């Protein structure tokens, strides 16, 4: 992972976003010299003074186990807008008492979460982030032997998502165990504009529930339980049926009121704010 991030730094330098390398962190600057992003690679960050970087908006934590001491240093970035907690496939090792310190980033709008052994209660800290609009969660964790473990969330997770009033986009990647009950709670209690989920425990019921959400502009669902009958029911909702196969239904929004047009899209495509996009995408 360190090697990949260093290579990323080289690419950003070529693109005009010069990185500054230090022992266990990388700072990315714009052409004007403002530090916009910090990537934390290890525990040796004693000389990192975030008070010097008032325009810092993005932080990436990856590659090692986060400690309280490290997080106490990082929470000085009070105006942070985007936070990445771990990368797939290995995920971030962070204990609950350290994760709860994330709520100090009160201005956060966008979070990517890839935590080892993620559990429902880990989501509690994000309910304190009243400006959180975009939440992307990786569903596969790296374990010994190079295999992937089962995703840690259960239907109970819905109770935490419902307490994120500003949330507009929720994307849960990987093969999850979430069911129609989870989707029904999301559909009846939230005003999402974008929703993505993969689970073989969801059925046509979830398609029906989500099809009735007037706020949705983009949906991406995957399940082996979907049937032609279930997807055809979309024609009775605010959605227009386009192309469907037996394992995945993907709906892409048009700009008109509450009317969704369906078209097949790349499964990795995301709707993200401009400031949350990677620098390579800009």
What pLDDT, in 10s, does the model give residues 244-275? 334 445 544 332 333 333 333 233 333 344 44
Rounded to two decimals, the pTM is 0.77
Please give the backbone phi and psi of residue 186, each rounded to the nearest 5 degrees, phi first: -65, -45
**Domain regions of the chain by residue span:** 178-264
Q: What is the mean pLDDT of the chain?
A: 76
Q: Which tens digits make up the pLDDT trace of 145-175?
A: 444 555 578 899 999 999 999 999 999 987 7
Which band of pLDDT confidence, cut at 50, 70 and 90, is reported for residue 64?
confident
pLDDT band for 208, please (50, 70, 90 cuts): confident
Question: For residue range 97-140, what is the model confidence (pLDDT) as tens digits?
Answer: 999 999 999 999 999 999 988 889 999 999 999 999 999 998 65
Residue 56 in this model has a pLDDT that exceeds 60: yes
Q: Which residue has the higher pLDDT, 199 or 107?
A: 107
Measured from the Cβ of residue 121, the count of other Cβ atoms closer than 10 Å reads 12
DSSP 203-236: -HHHHHHHHT-TT-SEEEEE-TT--HHHHHGGGG
Specify the 3-state DSSP secondary structure of 155.
helix
* Helix, strand, coil % in the chain, rounded to nearest 5: 30, 25, 50
Report angle CA 181, 170, 66 to the nearest 5 degrees: 110
Helix axes 180-189, 204-211, angle to 10 degrees: 0
Listed in sequence order, the residues at least 6 apart from 266 whose beta carbon sits closer than 8 Å to its beta carbon are none
* Percentage of residues of the chain with pLDDT beyond 70: 68
86 contacts 62 by C-beta, under 8 angstroms: yes
What would the pLDDT profile of 7-40 be if each residue is shown by its tens digit? 444 344 434 444 444 478 999 999 999 999 999 9
Radius of gyration of the chain (CA): 20
Residue 77: is its pLDDT beyond 50?
A: yes
3-state secondary structure of 181: helix
């Amino acid at each position: 992972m360190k090697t990949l991030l260093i290579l990323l730094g080289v690419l950003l330098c070529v693109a005009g976003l010069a990185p500054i390398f230090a022992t266990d962190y990388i700072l990315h600057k714009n052409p004007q010299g403002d530090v916009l992003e910090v990537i934390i690679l290890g525990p040796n960050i004693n000389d990192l003074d975030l008070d010097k970087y008032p325009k810092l908006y993005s932080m990436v934590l990856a590659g090692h186990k986060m400690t309280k001491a490290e997080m106490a240093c990082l929470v000085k970035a009070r105006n942070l807008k985007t936070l990445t907690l771990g990368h797939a496939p290995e995920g971030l090792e962070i204990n609950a008492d350290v994760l709860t310190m994330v709520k100090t980033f009160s201005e956060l709008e966008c979070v990517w979460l890839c935590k080892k052994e993620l559990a429902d209660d880990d989501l509690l800290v994000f309910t304190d982030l009243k400006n959180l609009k975009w939440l992307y969660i990786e569903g596969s964790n790296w374990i010994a032997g190079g295999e992937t473990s089962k995703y840690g969330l259960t239907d109970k997770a819905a109770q935490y998502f419902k307490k994120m009033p500003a949330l507009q986009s929720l994307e849960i990647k990987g093969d999850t165990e979430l069911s129609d009950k989870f989707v029904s709670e999301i559909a009846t209690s939230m005003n999402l504009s974008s929703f993505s989920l993969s689970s073989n425990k969801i059925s046509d019921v979830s398609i029906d529930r989500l099809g009735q959400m007037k706020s949705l502009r983009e949906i991406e669902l995957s399940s082996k339980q979907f049937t032609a009958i279930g997807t055809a029911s979309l024609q009775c909702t605010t959605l227009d049926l386009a192309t469907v196969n037996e394992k995945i239904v993907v709906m892409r929004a048009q700009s008109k009121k509450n009317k969704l047009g369906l078209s097949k899209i790349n499964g990795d495509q995301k709707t993200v704010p401009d400031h949350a996009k990677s620098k390579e995408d800009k």
